[in-house]
Amino acid sequence: MELLSIFEAPFKDTDFLTILILYIPFLIFLLYGQRIQFHMSLMEVGGMLSQLEKMKNIARFETLNIFKKFARDEKTVEEALNSLVESFMIFPESMDPYGIVKKVEHIVDVRDDKLIGDIKKIVREDVEESQVRNLENMLEATMALETIYKIIRHYYLLAKKMGSYIIAVQLQMLMPLIFNEAKAYLSAVFAFKLGVPIGDGIGPLVINRLLNGNEKWEILAKETIVYETSIEGRKTYLVKAHGPGGNVGKPGEAIKKLLERDKNIKAVIMIDAALKLEGEKSGSVADGVGAAIGGIGVEKYKIEEAATSYKVPLYAIVIKQSLLEAISAMKKEIVDSVEEVHRRIRRIINEYTSEGDSVIIAGIGNTIGIP
């Protein structure tokens, strides 16, 4: 009888409401949870995309203004700048890798010469070569921001059009990293506008601090200067890009020519900025072996080939910094690393070479603001 009375008990309205409150949201999330998450992801990516657009527009505005400052005719600058920002470079076919380095170098040289030539057509004839190089670097940073924005916008609109949850979530996860990279390029725009040294210029700065002003020098490769001096009783060749314009030069070509010319070279020491890992201190110094040089690999290939042919060891000293620090105005922590780098250079020279030997020290990086 008690069991029967339980089933016969009236069903209360409050119990029904409790079921609705507890279970209906669960059912909604079960059925539409992915769709809700998709729209939330799109909203977050869309917000960051709007910020990327603002950053891209700021970079273009600053670049346009500085170009107008040096322009022959201000009226034609905007159209010319729009054309340059939309320009591109197609890398050579690498299906057959034989000779690919020379092909890449040729395409990059053509692109660089064309870009410089197009900028010179815009600016007045009395504008210095170093300023033209700074304008080129500023334009490159603006082009990078434009490319980042267009790629993110493409995948955002694709995810929205196809209703793809996977694309939206992948974008959402990558956006913080991409946004930090975009901030770095925007900082670079202002650094190149002002012509101040950037973090990547620590290699050339190390070389600059080794000079006393009385050294013999020569331009041994395109926009690459070589000084001849003596350190610790060794004949020393100091290699860096030719400043103070925004150049990286061709250190690989210069080192190759020096190794061909002087058969008494016993060591090549390379100094460059290196991306630090999270948790590492900016401006910390480390040394090792190998060719410390970034870029697309052409100059690194030349250095490694020449060093291998002449059996000359490659030593590397790197100064750690973030991407933002590398392409924005140089911080004090990075400048302060110069003395430690000099100490390590002298240690390597004393430990691995003898008096009377020849040594190459190459400061790799962008020379903007560094003579």
pTM of the model: 0.85
Strands (E), the chain: 216-221, 224-231, 234-241, 265-275, 285-289, 314-321, 358-363
Cα–Cα distance measured from residue 32 to residue 272, given in angstroms and rounded to the nearest whole number: 52
The alpha carbon of 206 is separated from its chain's Cα centroid by a whole number of angstroms, namely: 20
Asked if 248 and 370 touch (Cβ cutoff 8 Å), the reply is no
353 and 236 inside one domain: yes
Same domain, 157 and 293: no
Among 130, 159, 194, give the residue marking a domain's end. 194
pLDDT-based confidence at residue 31 (cuts at 50, 70, 90):
low
- Which of 140, 162, 194 is the C-terminal boundary of a domain? 194
Check whether residue 163 and residue 51 sit in a common domain. yes
Q: Which residues touch 96 (CB under 8 Å, ≥6 apart)?
A: none
Of 279, 328, 366, 318, the C-alpha closest to 180 is 328
Best CA proximity match to 312, nearest among 251, 258, 240, 231: 258
Rounded to whole angstroms, the Cα distance separating 52 from 30 reads: 34
Across the chain, mean pLDDT equals 89
* C-alpha to C-alpha distances, 358 to 169, 236, 266, 334, 361, nearest whole angstrom: 56, 6, 6, 29, 10
How many domains, in total, are found in the chain? 2
- Spatial distance between the Cα atoms of 7 and 2, rounded to a whole number of angstroms: 9
Residue located via tokens 């926009």: 223
The tokens describing 191, both together, are 């650094």
pLDDT in tens, 273-292: 999 999 999 999 999 999 99
β-strands 234-241, 224-231 pairing: antiparallel
In a domain, 112, yes or no: yes
Domain match, 104 and 186 both? yes
Residues 170 and 240 reside in one and the same domain: no
The reported pLDDT for the residue numbered 29 is: 64
DSSP string, 2-35: HHHHHHHSPPPHHHHHHHHHHHHHHHHHHHHHHH
**Residue 154 domain flag:** yes
Taking CA atoms, 75 is separated from 122, 221, 276, in Å, by 11, 37, 44
CATH number at residue 217: 3.40.50.1470
Q: Which domain holds residue 58?
A: 34-194
List the one residue out of 212, 183, 165, 224 whose CA is nearest residue 360: 224
pLDDT per position as a tens digit, 57-89? 999 999 999 999 998 888 889 999 999 999 989
Residue 354 lies in a domain: yes
Considering the domain architecture, whether residues 253 and 109 belong to the same structural domain is answered as no
Closest-CA residue to 46 (of 155, 148, 145, 142): 155
Whether the per-residue pLDDT at 11 is higher than 70: the answer is no
Domain boundary among 177, 194, 211: 194
pLDDT digits (tens, 9 = 90+) for 199-223: 999 999 999 999 988 889 999 988 9
